[in-house]
Amino acid sequence: MIISENTIERVRALSIDDVLSTYITIKKNEACCPFHNEKTPSFRINIKKNYYKCFGCGKSGDAIRFVQEVRKLTFLEAIETIAKSHNIQVEYLEFGSEEERKEKITKLETAKLILNYAHDYYRNALANNPAMKTYLLERGFDDDKIEEWQLGFAPNGWKNITTHVINQNWYTVANEIGLVLTSKDQNYDALRNRITIPIFDKHGQIIGFGARAIGDDKPKYLNPNENFLYSKSTILFGLDRAMEAIKKEKCAILVEGYFDVMSMHNAGVENVVAPCGTACDEKQLQLLKRYTDTITIMYDGDTAGQASTTKLLNKALKLGFNTLTVELTDKDPDQLAREYSNQ
């Protein structure tokens, strides 16, 4: 980041109604949407979740996204704008030279444009694919849950996002963040025929996608590659949404996969996070240490899950965590959460 984490956190901590009321008139968490023409309000805000959604045009996001859209700003410009209007002093990071700083900003902003473009593309593709929506419904995701987790669908095809990415001159960054690949001089979409699960950093910004295969494609899950925006050892899936619950429950539950986190959350257990498709390492555990000293490991009951549990247990004990493990026999947390929440 070019602006300090501290500044971004202070901007993120502002209440969404405070930020939005500079631009629109809010009454009882409702307003007339600034993004489409209307006389009766269909624009709602959820203060607790720091989230807005228009039921007329479908626009949604957090306070920063709102300011970006309404003022046509980049993420960093929006942070600066909000900070100024709320008397938050903006701290900038030091760079070797002005050129270096500009280059870094351009790269970061391009990555965000690509991720947001792909995200919108995948979400639209899911909205227009009844078969895929049925597939997700069977896994416990109705329209509201799809919206809440912002799931999407990367259709089969080699150039769904690639054509636009190339036309926009985004190739280099798109390739670096692993969304457009190249083989034998052909550029193509990395994600095909998969459910896309956006991964957010703790500021609520998309930094990559997890992707689950439909059917028997291997591997079953794809995770973002390591790149300048995404480092797996510093990310826990679901942490942006679990932080408050972890503090409240004084415990974090660690599960293995994206769907374990989402299904448990959907069933009302919100203090749940997962490493994104890799063994949980010490850095990730240290990330949790900021919020709690107690973790519960709830990995799959298979041999691989048990082996990972033992490894994780050792790391956690070394770091001084109070540790509990839940031994599952034949089901994973995703299945359990869905079964028991239906009763």
Counting contacts by CB under 5 A, is residue 54 touching Zn ion? yes
**For residues 32 and 235, which CB has a smaller minimum distance to Zn ion in the complex?**
32
Beta strands in the chain (DSSP E): 30-31, 43-46, 51-54, 60-61, 152-154, 180-183, 186-189, 194-200, 206-213, 221-222, 236-237, 252-254, 272-275, 294-297, 322-325
Q: Which of 2, 14, 29, 35 binds Zn ion (CB under 5 A)?
A: 35
Which residues touch 195 (CB under 8 Å, ≥6 apart)?
A: 126, 132, 135, 136, 151, 152, 153, 154, 211, 212, 214
Residue 46 or 89 having the CB closest to Zn ion: 46
Cβ atoms of residues 79 and 203 within 8 Å: no
Q: Name the minimum Å distance from CB 61 to Zn ion.
A: 12
- Please, which residue, 37 or 134, has the CB nearer to Zn ion? 37
The residue among 147 and 293 lying less far from Zn ion, judged by its C-beta, is 147
Q: Which of residues 244-263 bind Zn ion (CB under 5 A)?
A: none
User: Given candidates 24, 57, 70, 287, which one binds Zn ion under the rule CB under 5 A?
Assistant: 57
Instruction: Write down the least CB distance from residue 37 to Zn ion, Å.
Output: 9
Residue 217, helix vs strand vs coil: coil
| Residue among 16, 32, 33, 154 that touches Zn ion (CB under 5 A) | 33
**Segment near Zn ion (CB under 5 A), from 5-13, 23-31, 47-55, 62-70?**
47-55
The correct pick among 56, 204, 277, 305 for binding Zn ion (CB under 5 A) is: 56
Stretch that binds Zn ion, among 33-41, 80-88, 176-184, 223-231 (CB under 5 A): 33-41
Interface size with Zn ion, residues (CB under 5 A):
6
Closer by beta carbon to Zn ion, 69 or else 176? 69
- The reply to whether 287 sits near Zn ion by the rule CB under 5 A is no
Q: Is 49 a binder of Zn ion (CB under 5 A)?
A: no
* Closest CA relative to residue 198, chosen from 179, 218, 172, 170: 179
Report which DSSP code applies to 77: H
Residue nearer to Zn ion on the CB measure, 42 or 227: 42
What DSSP string describes 246-313? HHHHT-EEE-SSHHHHHHHHHTT---EEEESSS---HHHHHHHHTT-SEEEE---SSHHHHHHHHHHH
Residues that bind Zn ion (CB under 5 A): 33, 35-36, 54, 56-57
